[in-house]
Amino acid sequence: MLLATSETPFEELAEWWRTGPPIFVRHICPVQAIVPLQGQADVDLVALREVVTTEFAAQIEPNLPFSVQTRILGELPYKPFDVNNALADEIYAVTTAQLNVRTPQQILSVVCAPAPNDPSHNTHQVAFVGLSAVGQNLSDWAGGVRRFAREEGQVSRSEFKLLEALEIFDIDLPARGSALDLGASPGGWTRVLRQHDQYVTAVDPGDLDPRLDQDRRIRHKRMTAEDYLADEPEQFDLIVNDMRMDARDSARLMARFAHQLYAHGTAIMTLKLPEQNRRPVIEQALTLLRQAYAIAGARQLFHNRSEITVYLRPLRREWE
């Protein structure tokens, strides 16, 4: 968590970041009240409910659905769910606004964390509380934590990365489109693409999950991405790449594949990052990608680890 002060109003800062989100920040929220916490559920929840009534009730639009989103950083004898429930009840009681956790239009954010001036960093806890429109927070989810339910038939956890990328970048795939999955094994991203009605060419010398073998809309090319490119492949609506390789090497390869995208096509890839000196690696990889693509988005999503996800659109050049 980063606590920052700014002379720029939160609304202006949020709009600035909404149009050009930073790579490593998933969620922001305003701080309009700071509530000391005693570490006792009955005392703390009463204090938070009182702040809702005195500081926020007049700001909450009664005709707009709301949600309470809580993050607890540190040790407290209650959970985010307990705070959410207590404050949601209080908001309804004093404003009659309706709770809607799935599609809220206004969000009361609560971050419980060690007090910033506490040298022990854990003895004294406070709650940072703020109210904002849902579009001002960069993410609809508390702290940018987006969770997906595990499904029967799921091939790998990497599926969540592609699902989150499609959602956060607001990518609409064409009906019955064609997709190329580079480095597809064991087939997690291929399975997600098939769920989105895409005909998939999966390129990888390794095996795909046996559960994908009977799907006639999956074509498995048992070769490397470099060999496949040399084989004069057709064009696609979408190219995805989650290969485990140096970010700069992956970017060079992806730039070569730009020719295989239709003019309306898009690409999604992950850039694997080193533990140290990440910034120059990111800058070099993005520079290589810009030779062939417009970078429509680059974010570290909740389901990324030591990597970022990049959303690309091909440049139209002399080969058109």
Q: What token pair was written down for 80? A: 């985010």
**Radius of gyration, alpha carbons of the chain:** 23
Query: Can you say how many angstroms the Cα of residue 219 is from the centroid of all Cα atoms in its chain?
Result: 29
Residue 182 DSSP symbol: E
**Among 79, 161, 221, 272, which one carries the catalytic annotation?**
272
N-to-C CA span, the chain? 46
- Quick one: which of 297, 294, 291 has its CA closest to 271? 297
Instruction: Please report the DSSP string for 175-212 in residue order.
Output: TTEEEEEET-TT-HHHHHHHHTTEEEEEE-SSPPPGGG
Cα dihedral 227, 229, 231, 233 sign: positive
Q: How many CB atoms lie within 10 A of CB 250?
A: 25
Whether 272 sits among the annotated catalytic residues: the reply is: yes
Give the integer Cα–Cα distance in Å for 244 and 51: 48
CA separation for the pair 305, 89 (Å, rounded): 36
Distance CA 236, CA 52 (A): 52
Catalytic residues: 272
